[in-house]
Amino acid sequence: MVTLALLALAASVAVLAVTAAVSRRLGRYSVVDVAWGLAFAAIAITVDLAGHGTPWRRTLLVTLVIIWGVRLAWHIGSRQRGHGEDPRYQALMAGQGFGTALWKVFGLQAVLAWVVSAPVIGGAGTTVRWTWVAVAGALVWAVGLAFEAIGDSQLAAYKADPHRGPIMDRGLWGWTRHPNYFGDACVSWGLWLVGGLASGWLVGLATVIGPILMTHLLRNVSGAALLERTMSRRAGWAEYAERVPMFFPRPPRRRKTA
């Protein structure tokens, strides 16, 4: 397991090192967001090839991670095309050089991806104890991917509508203010069930740091909380936030009438 963990870290660092070189060439740090999903895919492929855990579970894990990671990278890359630097990175790196970015942006992302991948690493080196837990995890993963993909599609349709209102509250966005981030969290918990808990309580407890960290980042750090600082300035946001939960979805409530 120690060898697998070190190989996974090396794979993550390699992806982010290449990303740093691309970032310097392009002159923007936001390209690191594209590499986020690719780092997970690289880790999954590495530990699948090097691991000696249950073969079908290793294949399932690497397949789930690649589907999710590549889709996410493609989506973010498409959204960034034709745009300049992300304001988040402008604020983060204001007055600081590229040398600082090597650890503050790229190094940090490499370590975070490695820690979040703990269930995938654990699954690659252990034997399945509870098959039904792995099946349940794949279903949770599927729900998460559906939330992400459908939410992104609905948001794209909203942005293309010339008669759209100031706040997106259609479809899944009427159930949660951040369906894509909630979907990401479900994907992470699903992978933990497949790669961590399905191997027994010991591996489950040792790898639960992955989904806990991912959910914390998505809800409280670089995901929903950060985005809401900007979105809360829009007209109608207060009414929308009162009707629709921030993260965990629930059936939509009716609009209040004057």
pLDDT, tens digit, for every residue of 149-188? 999 999 989 888 888 888 888 899 989 999 999 999 999 9
Q: What is the pLDDT of residues 134-146, one digit of tens each?
A: 999 999 999 999 9
* The pLDDT of residue 237: 84
* The pLDDT of residue 30: 82
Query: What is the reported pTM?
Result: 0.89
DSSP annotation of 58: H
* The pLDDT of residue 170: 86
pLDDT at 92 over 80: no
* The pLDDT of residue 256: 58
CA distance 8 to 4: 6
User: Six-digit token pair at 7?
Assistant: 């190989």
pLDDT at 120 over 60: yes
Q: pLDDT over 70 for what percent of the chain?
A: 95
* The pLDDT of residue 258: 47
Q: What is the pLDDT of residues 27-70, one digit of tens each?
A: 888 888 899 999 999 999 999 999 999 999 999 999 999 999 99
**What mean pLDDT do residues 3-28 have?**
91
Q: What angle do CA 209, 225, 213 make, to 5 degrees?
A: 5
Q: At what angle do helices 32-50 and 55-80 cross, to 10 degrees?
A: 170
For residue 94, which phi and psi values (nearest 5 degrees)? -55, 125
